[in-house]
């Protein structure tokens, strides 16, 4: 048993979709969340910059005494996961594996769409993960870079968001996909808008649920679950305005965030 917290990192507030699932699957675990809100989005950054930002963020989480890290950011998972795993001595998980597994299990016609940031889509990480599970599946990928800033501004259900979704997702109209993998933690927050754009016949996949289950399995295998002797503690940190994080994050998490501390991430 290990009562140290789990660290979760994202480029902004979107990673709270993963935190929400971890709270559900592992209700006894303490959580430390860091959102790099001053430098969001990561999707248009260079590979070297994403790796630098990811390692700084993990170093901060390590300073909080965590026992495991989830890279909730899909771009960080796609580009930086292996580098981070080599540099730190705690289990580090990404979200690509969970998303791929969930999508492969969901598709009936073996035609899967993938949306994400430019960094995630250009990496081809989801396509490779899906092919490893079932090489007969055909994938179609499309970057949707405006979705992250729309979510960060709280505009995920606006007509502006719908117009952007129609513009991006028209790409899939002739592909015959029956499953659409939302390959960015921000995108599940736009699920209603995305569903309006693609129709109810396409199943939307949020990697967060499967990622939380993989985390639970990892902690069980390593025998480092929290013993549940006390009420779980959740702490939130951001690299920009903590008040804005609290407001937006509380709505996304569907519970009140009383404090979000601003940190100087460049120190790490």
**pLDDT tens digits, one per residue of 5-32:** 999 999 988 899 999 999 999 999 999 9
Binding site for substrate: which residues?
A: 10-11, 42-43, 74-75, 185-186
Q: Architecture of 97-207 per CATH?
A: 3-Layer(aba) Sandwich (3.40)
| Full-model pTM | 0.89
> Does the structure show a pLDDT above 80 at 90?
yes
Binding site: which residues?
A: 10-11, 42-43, 74-75, 185-186
- Of the candidates 73, 144, 255, 259, the residue annotated as catalytic is 73
pLDDT for the residue numbered 249: 86
Domain 6-94+209-267 sits in CATH at: 3.40.50.1860
**Is residue 184 annotated as a catalytic residue, yes or no?**
yes
- Of the candidates 144, 184, 255, 259, the residue annotated as catalytic is 184
Strands 92-93, 111-116: parallel, antiparallel or unpaired by DSSP? unpaired
Domain(s) labelled CATH 3.40.50.1860 in the chain stretch across 6-94+209-267, 97-207
Q: What is the mean pLDDT of residues 191-200?
A: 95
**Is residue 73 annotated as a catalytic residue, yes or no?**
yes
- Confidence grade of residue 230 (pLDDT, cut at 50, 70, 90): confident
């Amino acid at each position: 048993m290990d009562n140290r917290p789990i660290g979760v990192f994202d480029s902004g507030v979107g990673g709270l979709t993963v935190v929400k699932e971890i709270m559900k699957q592992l209700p006894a675990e303490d959580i430390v969340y860091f959102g790099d809100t001053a430098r969001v989005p990561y999707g248009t950054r260079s590979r070297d910059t994403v790796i630098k930002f990811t390692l700084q963020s993990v170093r901060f989480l390590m300073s909080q005494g965590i026992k495991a890290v989830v890279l909730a950011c899909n771009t960080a998972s796609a580009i930086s996961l292996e580098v981070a795993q080599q540099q730190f001595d705690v289990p580090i998980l990404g979200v690509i594996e969970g998303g791929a597994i969930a999508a492969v299990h969901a598709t009936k016609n073996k035609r899967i769409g993938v949306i994400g940031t430019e960094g995630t889509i250009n990496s081809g990480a989801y396509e490779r993960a899906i092919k490893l599970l079932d090489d007969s599946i055909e994938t179609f990928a499309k970057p949707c870079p405006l979705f992250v800033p729309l979510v960060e501004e709280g505009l995920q259900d606006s007509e502006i968001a719908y117009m952007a979704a129609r513009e991006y997702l028209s790409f899939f109209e002739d592909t015959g996909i029956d499953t659409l993998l939302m390959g960015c933690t921000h995108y599940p927050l736009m699920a209603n808008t995305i569903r309006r754009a693609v129709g109810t016949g396409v199943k939307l996949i949020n990697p967060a649920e499967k990622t939380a289950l993989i985390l639970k399995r990892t902690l069980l295998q390593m025998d480092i679950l929290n013993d549940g002797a006390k009420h779980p503690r959740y702490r939130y940190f951001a690299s920009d305005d903590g008040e804005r994080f609290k407001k937006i994050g509380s709505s996304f998490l569907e519970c009140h965030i009383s404090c979000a501390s601003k940190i100087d991430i460049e120190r790490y």
